[in-house]
């Protein structure tokens, strides 16, 4: 099975019964997708609830420089509690770590970001 191209890129966002914000990106992460993720995180943060993100990165494609800038800019007002990513390639781990660090620097807030092989491991760590 090949990776989806830009025309087939898809974002799935949902809050599960445990209160985790679950994200799945299939294909390249666009600026609009980055804005949607940021808005969902901001909504949780503004409500006063914990912002615990469970991100499935098994089928993510490229995370462009502009999408990283959108995430950093739009997430300045978000108070994260923890982020767990699973299934990430080495390249996605590097880019995700850099993006998280830039948000942490901009917000002057530190929060844990961890990578896992499986969803079960990531979910257990968050809960």
Query: 74-96: per-residue pLDDT in tens?
Result: 888 888 999 999 999 999 999 88
- The pTM assigned to this predicted structure is 0.89
Structure-block tokens of residue 82: 């923890």
Query: 112-123: per-residue pLDDT in tens?
Result: 999 999 999 999
Q: Could you tell me how many residues make up the chain?
A: 127
Q: Is 27 helix (H, G, I), strand (E, B) or coil?
A: strand
Question: Given the structure tokens 């257990």, which residue do they identify?
Answer: 124
Model confidence at 2, in pLDDT bands (50, 70, 90)? very low
Query: 35-80: per-residue pLDDT in tens?
Result: 999 999 999 999 999 999 999 999 999 988 899 889 888 888 888 9
- Return the domain boundaries, the chain: 6-126
Question: Does the structure show a pLDDT above 80 at 21?
Answer: yes
**Can you name the CATH fold of 6-126?**
Transcription Regulator spoIIAA (3.30.750)
């Amino acid at each position: 099975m090949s990776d989806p191209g830009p025309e087939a890129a898809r974002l799935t966002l949902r809050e599960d019964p445990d209160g985790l914000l679950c994200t799945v990106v299939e294909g390249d992460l666009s600026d609009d997708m980055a804005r949607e993720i940021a808005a969902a995180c901001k909504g949780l943060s503004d409500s006063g609830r914990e912002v615990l993100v469970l991100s499935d990165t098994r089928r993510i494609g490229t995370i462009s420089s502009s999408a990283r800038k959108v995430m950093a800019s739009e997430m300045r007002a978000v108070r994260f509690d923890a982020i767990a990513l699973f299934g990430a390639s080495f390249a996605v781990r590097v880019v995700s770590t850099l993006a998280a660090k830039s948000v942490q620097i901009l917000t002057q807030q530190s929060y844990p970001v961890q990578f896992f092989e499986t969803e079960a491991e990531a979910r257990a760590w968050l809960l």
